[in-house]
Amino acid sequence: MFSKKRLAAAAAVATSAALVLAGCAGGGTPEGGATYDPDEKVTLDLAFWGNDVRADLYNQAIDAFNEEYPNITVNATFLGFPEFWEKRQTEAAGGGLPDVMQFDYSYLRQYSENGLLLDLEPYLGSVIETDPLPENILSIGVVDDTTYGIATSTNAWGLFTNPALLETAGVEEFAGGDWADYSDWVSEVTDASGGAFWGGSDFSGRIQNLELQLRSEGKNLFDEDGTPGFDEERLKEFWESGADIRDGAGVPQQVVEELTPLGAFDSARTASELTWDNFGAGYLANLGESYTELGLVAPPVTEEGAKDLYLKPSMLHTISAKTEHPEAAATLVNFLVNSPESGEIFGTNRGLPASETALEAAELDPLSQQVKEYEESIADRLGDAPPVPIVGYGTLEEKFRVLGTELNFGTTTVDDAVEQFFAEMDVVLNQ
């Protein structure tokens, strides 16, 4: 029932230009609301990204699902994040997406506008329970007034730290401040470690950190119509702000490459990592028994009082527009999102459960409780979520990452990187 494919997350995400219109769902829209016939024997394909830890959790969830729905066979597969989207790209071009997919917010507009995802409206309130999902959570999966995805969980951008490494270095936790303060702190940790590890990595290599700064200036990374909230000069300024970290304060890119598929943070080679707060469980699992806790604090600020942070869906569940079993697929989505069993099994592996039913059933371990408290602590910095990412956002995010890697290797200059990114953005926005 449950097959695993283990591939290292090394390949780049394929371009989105080749997506093909896949047509409407084979099941159509049932009259009077959608319901599932429990006597119907069907088989569904479920695809998700993750590692062995998450795969075991999905395995448990599928077992629990089959106790209630024994006639629905679920064949599940998983890949690393880049490979997951490469495979979806190939399947989309051939019209063969899995029935149910774990889905990233970055690709929701792209796949929905290409007719690849099932309209979930007919199933809301019937097969898919909506009472446990706050309206602002339900609206996350809406593109052009149509619901295409249901958020499993939410997360927020944060700064993870390694208390054991900080104690070794004799440096206190990052106490807050702006991005220059953070760079100084990273340098302090690196110097204090005596070469054993580094304070962090180049924050300017992540497009989310640029977005955070733009939101503090009252701008979006991209507006609804695709207009960027930055120009060449602003991007140059951002990439130049990472120069001190690239020049020795941060972990060298060569070390990062040698650690793949693990990262520098979950290999205990850096003492901090800016990322989404649902990454904590994976970090602890990878770090091993020698590390029993993580720090989690708010990221640097650009302007005090700005609503720069927001809750995003750590992932969603969507259904292929061509599924032959839409009601059964919606039943599986509802279980994975809303059931008490899902909350108990997944905890915060997929982020803090979005469903109140799932959250109430989740027995939060210390790290999960820490994530919950963290999101409560940043309430004064939480603003409205930005527009659903533009078509091709995933391609631009990957290009940004690749250019950041080249900047760290020293194989390109900031000026050249800016030129390359805007050239890529011009292609993506005008395709």
Residue-level pLDDT at 35: 65
Q: Which residue has the tokens 């690749």?
A: 402
Residue-level pLDDT at 398: 92
pLDDT in tens, 212-271: 999 999 999 999 889 999 999 999 999 999 999 999 999 999 999 999 989 999 999 999
Q: Give bridge partners of residue 161 from the DSSP assignment.
A: 272, 295
Mean of pLDDT values over 60-74: 97
- Judged by DSSP in three states, 317 sits in strand
pLDDT in tens, 112-145: 999 999 999 999 999 999 999 988 788 889 988 8
Mean pLDDT score of the chain: 89
In the predicted structure, residue 28 carries a pLDDT above the cut 50: no
Measured in whole angstroms, how far is the alpha carbon of residue 8 from the centre of its chain?
A: 17
Residue-level pLDDT at 36: 67
Query: What CATH fold (topology level) applies to the domain 157-309+387-429?
Result: D-Maltodextrin-Binding Protein; domain 2 (3.40.190)
The C-alpha angle with vertex 303 and arms to 298 and 306, in degrees rounded to 5, equals 75
pLDDT in tens, 171-210: 999 999 999 999 999 999 999 999 999 999 999 999 999 9
Residue-level pLDDT at 4: 28
Residue-level pLDDT at 37: 77
Q: Report the chain's C-alpha Rg in angstroms.
A: 21
The region of weakest confidence among 48-52, 54-58, 119-123, 350-354 is 350-354
Euclidean distance between CA atoms 283 and 307, whole angstroms = 28
Band the pLDDT of 345: cuts 50, 70, 90.
very high
Identical fold for domains 42-154+312-381 and 157-309+387-429, yes or no, is yes
Mean of pLDDT values over 73-81: 95
Q: Express as a percent the part of the chain with pLDDT over 70.
A: 92
CATH number at 42-154+312-381: 3.40.190.10
pLDDT in tens, 375-409: 989 999 998 888 888 888 888 999 999 999 999 99
Task: Give the domain ranges of the chain.
Answer: 42-154+312-381, 157-309+387-429
Residue-level pLDDT at 20: 36
- Judged by DSSP in three states, 304 sits in coil
In the predicted structure, residue 278 carries a pLDDT above the cut 60: yes
Of 214, 334, 228, 350, the closest CA to residue 280 belongs to 350
Residue-level pLDDT at 428: 92
In the predicted structure, residue 32 carries a pLDDT above the cut 70: no
First to last CA, the chain: 40
Residue-level pLDDT at 419: 98
DSSP letter for each residue of 231-297: -HHHHHHHHHTTHHIIIIISPPHHHHHHHTTS-SGGGTSBSEEEEEGGGHHHHHHHH-TT----EEE
Residue-level pLDDT at 385: 82
Residue-level pLDDT at 27: 37
Q: Which residue has the tokens 């490494």?
A: 165
Euclidean distance between CA atoms 258 and 17, whole angstroms = 32
Contact between 44 and 325 under an 8 Å Cβ cutoff? The reply is yes
